[in-house]
């Protein structure tokens, strides 16, 4: 009897042991498999993220599938092309030879001043103007390695290839005005005079009191604050941030009407009756135009504009800066501070004017 019980217990134990062995063997995985799975998942996520944040290649003018070339262009030393447009009297007759630099979202066809001068002023003063598409805009080749210095050298080479002489004038608006600080830094010996019209400001320039730059920065719409942070701290995310649908990107790119003063809106209403060049502006893609502008303008600068010396110590030329006191894009408080730091700049503040004051009727003649 006892032997039978022992045999039954032994059989039950054997069956339980067999089941446990089978379970253990079925759960046993090759060593390191979890690490390999995690690695594969990580690589997959990174590959997906790379595709999402990677901007599309530009559609370069004249390339297969790219927009056609319709403008006169010069070929720069590095092989890129700049498209340009001439206005006013011929170069041979000109007393004043001026290069006009367009702003954000514009091109050679609709720069400030060039298209709005009265024929009488052009003839009386003998004004020749050349406007050009900044790199990546219109029909000028993109410049993925664009820097502040390269912009100044582009202007210098444009002047040389067009035969503007040893010195020339520069008038620059908005974002183009911000980049034109590089001309005062790198090619001051080539300048006869400079006029900056509501030049955009980098809030991270050294020299601003922290409380002043912070106050001006937080006057911007919240989406623009974030868009500028991204362009400054993580420029490689600029394309993704301004094209994704989860958060609002730059309201400037979106052309938000809240950015404009009442005067600006009246000016826009008048300008809207003319020919639109919006599609032409970004025909090579937004990344090498809008987004590259943001990365360079709001990135880390290799010099501080507020440390610049007077390029005309003997009064052989002058620098002027014009600013509307109701500009909602460029804070007037920062322009005031800059011109206090640089007393050699002739500062003109326009009461009641917004960002688009250069397009007011008669303003081009005054400038």
> Any residues with CB less than 8 A from the CB of 367 and at least 6 apart, and which?
113, 171, 195, 197, 322, 358
Three-state DSSP state, 358: helix
Q: In this predicted structure, what is the pLDDT of residue 36?
A: 60
Q: In this predicted structure, what is the pLDDT of residue 55?
A: 87
- Tally of structural domains, the chain: 1
Total residue length of the chain: 367
Q: Are 311 and 152 in contact (CB under 8 A)?
A: no
pTM of the model: 0.86
Q: Which of 3-7, 61-65, 75-79, 313-317 is the least confident region? A: 3-7
Domain that includes residue 212, residue range? 73-365
Q: Kindly report, residue by residue over 80-107, the tens digit of the pLDDT.
A: 999 999 999 999 999 999 999 999 999 9
pLDDT of 9 over the 90 cut: no
Q: Are 178 and 199 in contact (CB under 8 A)?
A: yes
Q: What's 134's domain CATH number? A: 3.40.50.1820
Whether 7 maps to a domain, the answer reads: no
Percent of residues, the chain, with pLDDT higher than 90: 77
Whether 118 maps to a domain, the answer reads: yes
pLDDT of 42 over the 50 cut: yes
Q: How confident is the model at residue 237 (pLDDT cuts 50, 70, 90)?
A: very high
Pairing assessment for the beta strands 81-88 and 127-132 based on DSSP bridges: antiparallel
pLDDT of 350 over the 50 cut: yes
Whether 39 maps to a domain, the answer reads: no
Q: Shortest CA distance to 98 belongs to which of 132, 70, 72, 74?
A: 132
Whether 149 maps to a domain, the answer reads: yes
Query: Crossing angle, helix 210-217 and helix 332-341, to 10 degrees?
Result: 150
Q: How confident is the model at residue 53 (pLDDT cuts 50, 70, 90)?
A: low
Q: Kindly report, residue by residue over 153-205, the tens digit of the pLDDT.
A: 999 999 999 999 999 999 999 999 999 999 999 999 999 999 999 999 999 99
What is the pLDDT of the chain when averaged over all its residues?
A: 89
Q: In this predicted structure, what is the pLDDT of residue 278?
A: 85
Q: Are 220 and 228 in contact (CB under 8 A)?
A: yes
Residue carrying structure tokens 């040893």: 166
Q: In this predicted structure, what is the pLDDT of residue 107?
A: 95
Q: What is the mean pLDDT of residues 312-337?
A: 97
Show the tokens assigned to 262: 């009442």
Can you spell out the DSSP letters for 100-145?
EE--TT--TTS-TTTTT--HHHHHHHTEEEEEEPPTTSTTSPP-TT
pLDDT of 337 over the 90 cut: yes
Distance from C-alpha of 301 to C-alpha of 213, rounded to nearest angstrom: 16
Whether 275 maps to a domain, the answer reads: yes
Whether 235 maps to a domain, the answer reads: yes
Whether 24 maps to a domain, the answer reads: no
- Which residues on adjacent β-strands are paired with residue 128? 88, 97
Whether 123 maps to a domain, the answer reads: yes
Q: How confident is the model at residue 52 (pLDDT cuts 50, 70, 90)?
A: low
Q: What is the mean pLDDT of residues 44-55?
A: 63
């Amino acid at each position: 009897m006892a032997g039978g019980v022992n045999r039954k217990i032994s059989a039950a134990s054997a069956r339980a042991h067999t089941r446990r062995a089978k379970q253990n063997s079925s759960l046993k995985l090759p060593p390191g498999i979890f690490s390999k799975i995690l690695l594969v998942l990580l690589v997959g996520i990174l590959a997906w993220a790379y595709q999402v944040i990677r901007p599309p290649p530009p559609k370069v003018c004249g390339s297969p599938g790219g927009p056609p070339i319709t403008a006169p262009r010069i070929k720069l030393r590095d092989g890129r092309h700049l498209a340009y447009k001439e206005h006013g009297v011929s170069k041979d007759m000109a007393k004043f030879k001026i290069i006009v630099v367009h702003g954000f979202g514009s091109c050679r066809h609709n720069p400030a001043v060039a298209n709005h001068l009265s024929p009488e002023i052009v003839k009386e003063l003998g004004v020749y103007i050349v406007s050009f598409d900044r790199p990546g805009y219109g029909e000028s080749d993109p410049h993925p390695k664009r820097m502040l210095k390269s912009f100044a050298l582009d202007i210098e080479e444009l002047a040389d290839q067009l035969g503007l002489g040893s010195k020339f004038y520069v008038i620059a608006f908005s974002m183009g005005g911000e980049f034109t600080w590089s001309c005062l830094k790198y090619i001051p010996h080539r300048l006869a005079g400079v006029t900056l019209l509501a030049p955009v400001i980098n809030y991270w320039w050294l020299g601003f009191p922290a409380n002043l730059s912070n106050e001006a920065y937080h006057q911007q719409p919240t989406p623009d604050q974030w868009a500028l942070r991204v362009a400054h701290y993580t420029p490689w995310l600029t394309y993704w941030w301004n094209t994704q649908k989860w958060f609002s990107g730059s309201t400037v790119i979106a052309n938000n009407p809240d950015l404009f003063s009442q005067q600006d809106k009246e000016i826009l209403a008048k300008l809207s009756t003319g020919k639109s060049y919006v599609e032409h502006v970004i025909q090579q893609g937004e990344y090498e135009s809008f987004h590259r502008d943001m990365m360079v303008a709001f990135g880390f600068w290799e010099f501080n504009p507020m440390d610049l010396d007077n390029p005309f110590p003997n009064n052989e030329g002058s620098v002027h800066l014009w600013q509307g006191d109701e500009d909602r894009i460029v804070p007037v408080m920062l322009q005031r501070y800059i011109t206090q730091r640089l007393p050699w700049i002739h500062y003109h503040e326009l009461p009641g004017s917004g960002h688009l004051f250069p397009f007011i009727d008669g303003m081009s003649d005054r400038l």
